[in-house]
A and B are shown apart, each in its own frame.
Chain A
Amino acid sequence: MPQPLLRVRASLDLTWHYAAGSHFTRFFEALRDDGLILALRCPACRRVYLPPRPVCGNCFRRMEEWVPVGPQGTLRAFTVVHFPFLDPTTGQPRPVPFGMGLIQLDGADTTLNHYLDETDLGRLELGLRVEAVLREPRQGDMGDIRLFRVLRP
């Protein structure tokens, strides 16, 4: 008689409380209260980082100079995703297809990974101009930037 092979099923329910830190607190408050996207400039290399973080990874210098960037920018990379990834914020698969891009906001030197409003590959190319679309009402987290809208002439 064949041996049964058992599977032990267990569900891991994880909850956390993440401290945003002073830099992200400032960033999310500016986004929530003023609708502004703020970045940080390194005093040494002058690189403007979005999202902001306390230290420049190349120079190891603390960054304190806040610079508003965007809300428009340039598309530096893109894809259209058909694979229904698990959205960790909801625990459900994301509806597909959805567009994604790396966006360099005007004034920033790094790119931001975010959603695009376009899923037609024939209408996506590097260099397109895009604009941040904010969530209303804003709540003070990254979801306040809902997605980036491709600017069509």
Chain B
Amino acid sequence: MKWRRRVAVIGTGQTEHTRKRDDVSQQELVREAARRALADAEMTPGDIDAVVLANMELFEGRALPELWCAEGAAGAGKPVLKIATGGTSGTSGAIAGALQVASGMFDTVLVVGFEKQSEGQTAAGMALTDPMWDRHVASAAIGNFALSISQYMAERGVTQEQAAKVAVKARRNAARNPYAHLQQPGLTVEQVLASSVLAWPIHMLEMCPTSDGACALVYAAEEVARRRCPRPAWVRAAATRHDHPYIGDLDRRLVTMRTLRDAAREAYAQAGVTEPLEQFDVAEIYEPVSYAELAWYEALGFCKEGEAGRLIEDGVTAMDGQLPVNPSGGVLSTNPIGASGVIRTAEAALQLHGKGGQRQVPGARLALVTGYGVYAWSDVLILSSDPG
């Protein structure tokens, strides 16, 4: 894939993510994030050419969010596109928005991802899988991850303690992010392993929450970005891979994780990354459960197969490590599903904007973003302070 013209993120905004927002309707939640992103970019609704909305409408039982929430995203009278790709909705939306600008058809695009899970029954929505062979055993993300984790533990030797360390890192990072849902600055490995087992070996405290929240970002074409933004976050790569729909067809999903490997390989080639651990300054990766982050270290080439446990134990991915992973607290701390992928992209962008506050990685100039969805879909984006 060859980029026709340069695109940058010039503004981000998000809501304070939480379990339940009784005070706003879904559309008002969208507007909160959209306003903050436009304010960050110092733009008005009239400056936006097109809108992308990312949301899994079935989870809230409200068909056509691109209809009912378009106004909240300043979309009335504009082209509005909805993206619903499970957990990757947000990163798919982020990629779609970037491609819209890169195509030359639009100079500015607003992307808003959102979910108001307190209004619905996410587990019921997720149970609407293939009615022939999957629905009678549907055990949602937790059960499916648990199955894959049994294979991953056996082949790669990660331990429950190492997985718990991922959760501790996430929740402690979240405590320095004013927008994160679960902020637990004092969380310990012992507490994680003592929490109730959801589906072996996944404990409650190492699984993502369900959240109400929205996140927005503003893309601009090069000419607009240079005029309006002192430190644009340039999109240097975007790649997506989907795979077989049925968990039993995937070859030991977390072990091989071919979608993330292939998407990363393509994105790294686009951006000229050959040594990810050395070259990236920060990574916001989509980790629904602690073990997934370990598997992603290997799939993303941060380390050799079997070494992910060592990486977390040596603190390589801690805030003061060689490559801080998820300064925001990640999906493990905040998960409004349609927003989560936009949050990864926005958190990476604001690191490059120098707006990370207490979670800022000093001098960050190259950021990795990943999205994960359904059984094995993967998105990868790379943002840089260097337009390339």
A125 CB, min distance to chain B CBs, angstroms: 9
Q: Determine the chain B residues whose CB is within 8 A of the CB of A110 once the complex forms.
A: 246, 248-249
Q: How many residues of B contact A (CB 8 A)?
A: 40
Closest to A91 in B: B124
Q: Does A66 contact B (CB under 8 A)?
A: no
User: Which one, B81-89, B127-135, B174-182, B335-343, is touching chain A?
Assistant: B127-135
* Contact assessment for B248 and A88 in the assembled complex, using a CB-CB cutoff below 8 Å: no
Q: Determine the chain A residues whose CB is within 8 A of the CB of B140 once the complex forms.
A: 83, 85
Q: Does B196 contact A (CB under 8 A)?
A: yes
* Contact residues of A between 70 and 91, Cβ < 8 Å to B: 76-83, 85-89
Given the interface pairs A80-B200, A82-B196, the reply to whether A5 lies near B148 with Cβ below 8 Å is no
Q: Determine the chain B residues whose CB is within 8 A of the CB of A16 once the complex forms.
A: 131
Closest to B196 in A: A82
> B-facing mask of A1-36, CB < 8 A → 1, else 0?
000010100101000101010001000000000000
Q: Does B39 contact A (CB under 8 A)?
A: no
- Docked complex Cα distance between A121 and B131 (Å): 29
- Docked complex Cα distance between A85 and B23 (Å): 29
* Contact assessment for A114 and B150 in the assembled complex, using a CB-CB cutoff below 8 Å: no
Given the interface pairs A5-B22, A88-B135, the reply to whether A77 lies near B199 with Cβ below 8 Å is no
A25 CB, min distance to chain B CBs, angstroms: 10
Closest to A24 in B: B132
B250 CB, min distance to chain A CBs, angstroms: 9
* Contact assessment for B22 and A7 in the assembled complex, using a CB-CB cutoff below 8 Å: yes
Given the interface pairs A51-B246, A82-B197, the reply to whether A77 lies near B128 with Cβ below 8 Å is no
* Contact residues of B between 196 and 235, Cβ < 8 Å to A: 196-201
Q: Does B187 contact A (CB under 8 A)?
A: no
The winner among B23, B132, B199 for most chain A CB atoms within 10 A is B132
| CB contact between A85 and one of B22, B143, B148, B252 (< 8 Å): that residue | B143
* Contact assessment for A143 and B61 in the assembled complex, using a CB-CB cutoff below 8 Å: no
- Docked complex Cα distance between A79 and B131 (Å): 22
Q: Which positions in B face A, CB cutoff 8 Å? A: 22-23, 61, 121, 123-124, 127-128, 131-140, 142-144, 146-151, 154, 196-201, 244, 246-249, 252
Q: Which 8 A-B pairs have the closest CB atoms?
A: A79-B146, A111-B248, A88-B127, A51-B133, A81-B199, A77-B147, A5-B22, A83-B198
Q: Which positions in A face B, CB cutoff 8 Å? A: 5, 7, 10, 12, 16, 18, 20, 24, 49-51, 57, 76-83, 85-89, 100-102, 110-115, 121, 126, 141-143
Q: Offer 8 A-B interface pairs, CB within 8 angstroms, sorted by A.
A: A77-B148, A78-B150, A81-B139, A83-B143, A85-B127, A85-B138, A86-B124, A121-B200
